[in-house]
Structure 1
């Protein structure tokens, strides 16, 4: 069975919305961490807002290693309305998100990533569909914005790894304990 891995950029106070506001310094260790995460993935589940923003930016981007990955990966978009923009390898999630991801996990392939889509990550975490949580925690307090873990039930995690980068980011990797 494939793993579902949530990868999110968050502030120290847990805000995941608009990470560009608090991710001001990016170092090589954060890039290497991202490279390791996406090297194990061949599919991404996105929410509609993230898809719209990314479909406008990433097809023309040369920011590596993510541009090559996201432009080539299968992208599954949770939305109830038709997509306005076309982007290679994109599919609309037909029906219930949790059931779709449950079925996707049973198909052959590499890990399934959830990137940037807070509501998708929350729905899958609440449904017990996430296997790993990989966070990059910025050395900043955002103060306001949507928090990644708000409103979730109790979820037990087991620490896999945690490091601090030269720029002060915390790279944390948790396994969800069933």
Structure 2
């Protein structure tokens, strides 16, 4: 069975976005060659991408554009070439090449995908989708990129809706020169 991995950029207080959906905080940091190489390498590492509708709309508004190809050519090329899935109850078709809409219940649709042959599935961003899937046990690994910013009450916490908690174990960590920290966790078991 293939794995389902969630890659999420988070603030130090665990927020994936501002309450208004703002993500500028994730990109205000100084440029760091090591971080940029990690992002490009991560995009080029294969897999099949999974998005919630809002994140899909944000991604499709940037990656297929000439500006993305000019400013971030390696990442844009990978993002446009990789197979993509959008979990949505409202979308019926997708405009971005190599994209399939998964209507209905995201958990059951992703469980089907995990059982099918293919590369690992990687949820990019899509905080609401990750939060909804967390209690199901479908996510095999959480790759959390901590950005040294605090949003406080202006932020949406990633695990704010998880009722019964989760126990995770650290599988890998990496520090970057710009202060970002990558923490990779795997679930141990649900916490009662």
> Normalised by the size of structure 2, how large is the TM-score?
0.84
In the TM superposition, 1:93-108 aligns within 5 A as 93-108=102-117
SS at match of 1:50: helix
Counterpart contact for 1:48–1:78, Cα < 8 Å? yes
Counterpart contact for 1:159–1:173, Cα < 8 Å? yes
Structure-2 separation of matches of 1:141 and 1:35: 26
Change (3 A) 1:39 1:137: same
RMSD between aligned residues: 1.9
Structure-2 separation of matches of 1:66 and 1:155: 32
Structure-1 separation of matches of 2:148 and 2:97: 35
> Paired residue for 2:158?
148
Structure-1 separation of matches of 2:56 and 2:115: 24
1:132 paired with 2:150, answer no
> Paired residue for 2:120?
111
Unaligned runs of 5+ in 1: none
Unaligned runs of 5+ in 2: none
* Worse overlay, 74-83 or 165-174: 74-83
> Normalised by the size of structure 1, how large is the TM-score?
0.90
In the TM superposition, 1:9-20 aligns within 5 A as 9-17=9-17, 18-20=22-24
Change (3 A) 1:83 1:66: farther
